[in-house]
Amino acid sequence: MQEVPLGQSDLTVSRLAYGCMRIAGTWNRAEFTPKHEEAGRKALQAAYENGYTLFDHADIYGRGLCEEIHGRFLAENPDLKSKTIIATKCGVRFPGEPESTSPYRYDFSKNYIIESCEKSLERLQLDQIDLYQLHRPDILMNPHEVAEAFHELSERKLVRWFGVSNFTPRQTDLLQSSLSDKLIVNQIEISLAELEPFMDGTLDHIYQRSMTPLAWSPIGGGWLAAEEYAPGGGWVEELAKLHHIVGGVAKTIGISRHQLCLAFLLKHPSGIIPIAGATNPSYIKEAAETANIELSREDWYGLFTSARMEPLP
């Protein structure tokens, strides 16, 4: 797969990232079985075989299981470590932790960032994380305190580069103003079903700052790739229309729905890296092949206008 630079760093990564959120098959440790582990390993193996080098994690994925699976996989396949760029995230805290009365919340306190990083490294069985991101904006964020945490993690050589996730342009600039090193990515939700970053200045800001946009849920949670979609669960007429249009355009071009959704993002000049999160090896391969697909401007704008549900001004 083609490789591209990651922001203003010395990291070079695959044109698509592999999202590891689902490789544990469950978020309930009590339900986790050897079959779940085997399926996760097969997904990782397929990702490596198809040229993915950037692997997206978070400490909360599978409540730590996803990082653990990847850690064991790399420990048993040390030759793959040189082909691996690990990105993981911190800052989301579940309810009931550490106290039974603790609410669901975000936490960018210095001690929590450092502690979370140390635990991720332990689960991944690594000495250093390539890209460490703040997961969701903490309303109580003190950028100077975050800077202290980042500085310590960098000085201890536990992290190479830092980034953010789901940050607005102003939140990104606020944090960057306290940092000595450049933030290299902002991971945002963007797809044919979530077009706001194209229009609200988020992608413009990322591009202007020479950061790389990482796109989570690039296929709208997977429903845009489904051949058929059962009504219900928030399925409304407008989304049904979009689903139908995606299928028609994909058929005309001669690619899958899955590939069309990814190619739509790859077209943008900001260098969006879609995070492909399928666990089926055939879908992992199919997504990787998207890196070679170039949509025309006409096809891109046709999709964009259809997804907006209204004509351009």
Residues forming the active site = 61
Phi, psi (rounded to 5 degrees) for 266: -65, -25
DSSP-derived 3-state class of residue 281: helix
Interacting residues of 177 by C-beta distance below 8 A, sequence separation 6+: 143
Q: What is the dihedral of CA 61, 235, 203, 266, to 10 degrees?
A: 80
Is the sign of the CA dihedral 255, 260, 263, 268 positive or negative? positive
Q: Return left, alpha or beta for 86; rule: phi > 0 is left, psi -120 to 50 is alpha, else beta.
A: beta
C-beta neighbour count of 165 within 10 angstroms? 23
